Structure formats: structure tokens, C-alpha cells
A and B are shown apart, each in its own frame.
Chain A
Amino acid sequence: MAKTATLKVRVDRDKCQGHNRCKALAPELFELDEYGNAREKGDGTVPPGLEEKAYLARSNCPEFAIEIVET
């Protein structure tokens, strides 16, 4: 039986300009620093059921700063 892939999100801190779209769309997966710039929560692992939110956050980032990898 094929193992279901686990997703991980990662914010490229050099690209992020603090538009705050990811945090607004997926607060379970992203958090902001004191300047309002985003980073992934914890190690970025996407809990089951939140995959769609991860993709939504990625496709709304104006700076193309969010990466999703399958592990």
C-alpha cells in the first residue's frame, strides 16, 4: 500500500515581504514575527486535512515565497 505523502510548507524569508496572505488563509500553518513577516509554524509539517489550505496559501502569495514539499 502506498504511503500517503506528508506535506511541508516553507516560507522563503528573503522573498517574503509581509503581505500576510498566508497567515490570513492558513493561520494553522503560518505565523508572523514582530515585523509582520511570515514563517512556517514549527517544522512546517502540514497536519492531515489542511493540505488544501497549504496550497491556497501558496497560490495567494504575491511574492511567490511559499514552497510546499512532499516528504
Chain B
Amino acid sequence: MSERPPVKDWATDWDHLDRRWVEDPFPIWDEMRRKCPIAHTGRFMGVYLPTRYEDVRAVAYDTEHFSSRRVIVRETPPPRVPAPPITSDPPEHRPARMVLLPPFTPDAMKRIEPRARAIANELIDKFIARGTCDAAVEYAQEIPVRVIAHMLGLPEEDGDLYRKWIKAILVDGITDNSVLMPAVGEMTHYFMGHVLERIDKPGDDLISYLATAKFNGQPMGEEFVVGALRLLLIAGIDTTWSGIGSCIWHLARTPEDRRRLVAEPSLMPTAIEEFLRAYAPVTMAREVVKETQINGCTFKPGQMVMLSFPAANRDPDMFEDADKVVIDRKENRHAAFGLGIHRCVGSNLARMEMTVAVEELLKRIPEFSLAGDVKWSEGTVRGPRRLPIEFR
């Protein structure tokens, strides 16, 4: 990433690509929440940033003034790349969402879980004898890539391609459209081929399901199917990779939590929800389409809003001991998967993958610790991209 002009003031000139933000955004958000709970920056052509849970919620619920047609804050206005339903507003949003929901219910995830466990163990087999590994690259990253390929009915080896496109779209493409567009083009071409194939000869995979799906008796059309596939790939890999990585990062440096989870495996669901709260990987965005006011702040049309679910999840007005990770937290209305009509369609998949990843790792390697510098991602999905651990 290019060098960025130094931030003069977090309340009026913030930059989520700033080195300090990438390393540790939490103190920055805490300061904003106290001093200027809806901050603004002139960078990226103007973006608002609410950091309080209540304000994030208000924006997420208000689809009249805040559109999802742009969901990523970029340096230059991007060419429109629809990925329904995440980029859809009412009324188009609903049919797209209804079609996408059934393959991602908890019951549907139970059918995929055995393959996810097998993948986790195949990955552990590769590094366990070494006594050390990069848990971000060799483990956390591989699980969602392989699971989504499995669900789509595509070769798991195509994961290298997916990672290349995602990096171009979510990282390098944020500041460079010349990187973004070829990646989107390649991805669209790749999926279109598979979709046309499945329309002719459907199997029991997710591409076939989407290719043949109907809403009110009407087929959804190839454009929709390819757009939805783009979404599943873009939204389903970096995010869960980050979620799994943050769990492992926390457990590597918090032996008391790790040992407690090994001793009390029934705590796992609560612990996973707490990791989702404390280290929520995903920040979305909206475009202001009609002027409005929230909490005394005027939102001007044409500007963007960063919808920081991670910042909302650290709001002390909403969560007791918001800055502490409490793996048996009783009350936890975290917003890691968003709030309102755009609740992450893959939330049950993400939870299943995170649970499987942590459980299988703890079963085989109950004792591990950090073994070097951790590198965090840049952009709007936050998680470790290098995570050296040792377990001798």
C-alpha cells in the first residue's frame, strides 16, 4: 500500500489505511466515541464514521437515506459491480435475499461441517510435526477457501485464484481501479462458464441451486447468479479467514482462556460469539442518498458512511467491560454480522467454520504461543495476515 499523508486529527481527517489504525484501531475508536461520536474525513471523497452502537444501528436500519449500492470505501468512485443482495436496496433486495438464505441455514451448515472438520485436520497434518506454523496463512486462510469451493462444487485447488481476486478487490483495488477491474472481469468470466454449465446439467452444489433458483416462478437470471457468486466469494473468504485468525491470535496470547476452553468445551459457542464481538472482522459502508440527521450530525448526499460494526461492538454504553474479552459473556447483542436487512447471509457458515477451526486446533494442539511479529490486514476486513505460532 502507498504511503499515506499523516492523519492530522482523527475526528476530522481519519484514514482507515493509516499505519496506526491498521495496527490497533481500538484506542482510536474509543477516543472518537468520547470526543466526536460521528467523525468525518475529507479523504476518500468524504466519509462519515459513527463509532457508537446506537448510531451504527440507526444507519444500518435506515435504507431510505443510506444506500447499499456502494458498500466499500474507495479512493476513487468505483464502476458499479453489483453483488446482490449486499449491494441491493429495497425493494430489489428481498427476492435476492430470499433466494440466498435457504442454503445457509444452520441445518444446511450441519451437512457441510464434516467436510470442514476434515479440511481442518488435513491442514494441521501438514504442519504439526514442524512445531511451528503461520496460522494465518497455513490454517485460517485455507479453511474458508476450501469450504466455499466445496459448497460451490468447484475444485478446492482453485482457491489460489480466489485469493488473488479477493486481494485485488478488497486490498489493492481500494486505491487502484486498474487492479480492481481486471480481477472482477476474470472472476465474472470464471463463474459465468460454471453457471452456464450447471444450467444445462445441474448437480447438488450451490452453483446449481442458484442457477436453477426461482422467485415467484421466475428464474433469477445469469446476471444475478454471477453477482451472487461474486458476493459469496468476496464476502465469504477474507472475513472468515480474519475471524479464525483473530480467535487463534487471542488464544495464543491468553493461555488462561485457551486452557479454560480445553477444559470446558461447552463454553465454545459463547466464546465464539465473544471473539466475534471483540474482533469483528467486517466494516461495511453505505452511500448517503438523501440528506438526514442522526444524533445531531448532518449526512450529506454523495458522501459515504463507514458502518463500523467492530467499533459498535466496543461501545461501553452497550457492553459491560467492552474492552475486555470475556469468553463466558452472558449478554452479547454484538453486531459482527451487521444489523437489519443486510444481516450477513453467511453468518451460520462463518460461525461453523470458526468453531470447527478452533475446536480442531485445540484438540490437536492445546498448547501454543505467538512466535514472532503479527501482521494485520489493511482495508475494511480486519484480521491477522501473518500469525506465527509455536507449539513444542
Contacts and interface: CB of A to CB of B under 8 A. Distances in A.
A24 to B, nearest CB: 6
Interface string B312-342: 0000000000000000001111110101110
Interface in B184-213: none
Contact of A19 (B101, B269, B331, B343): B343
Nearest to A32: B105
B371 interface: no
Interface string A28-71: 00001011110000000000000000001001111110000000
A14 B47 CA distance: 31
B102 interface: yes
Given A19-B343, A62-B339, A64-B333, 10 more contacts: A17-B339, A18-B101, A21-B273, A23-B106, A36-B101, A36-B105, A36-B348, A56-B330, A59-B330, A60-B331
Given A19-B343, A20-B348, A35-B101, A62 B333 contact: yes
A36 B106 contact: yes
- Size bin of chain A's contact surface: 10 to 19
A23 B273 CA distance: 14
List the 5 shortest-distance A-B pairs measured between CB atoms, nearest first: A17-B343, A36-B105, A35-B101, A59-B331, A62-B333
Nearest to A59: B331
B348 A35 contact: no
24 contacts: A17-B339, A17-B340, A18-B101, A18-B343, A19-B337, A19-B347, A20-B106, A20-B347, A32-B105, A32-B106, A34-B102, A36-B102, A36-B106, A37-B101, A56-B330, A59-B333, A60-B273, A60-B331, A62-B333, A62-B334, A62-B335, A62-B337, A62-B339, A63-B340
A39 B351 CA distance: 21
B339 A35 contact: no
A36 B339 contact: no
A20 B346 CA distance: 12
Interface of A: 17-21, 23-24, 32, 34-37, 56, 59-64
A20 B102 CA distance: 13
Given A36-B348, A56-B330, A59-B333, A17 B341 contact: yes
Interface string B280-297: 000000000000000000
Contacts of B44: none
A63 B106 contact: no
Contacts of A21: 273
A21 B330 CA distance: 12
B21 interface: no
A5 to B, nearest CB: 22
A22 to B, nearest CB: 12
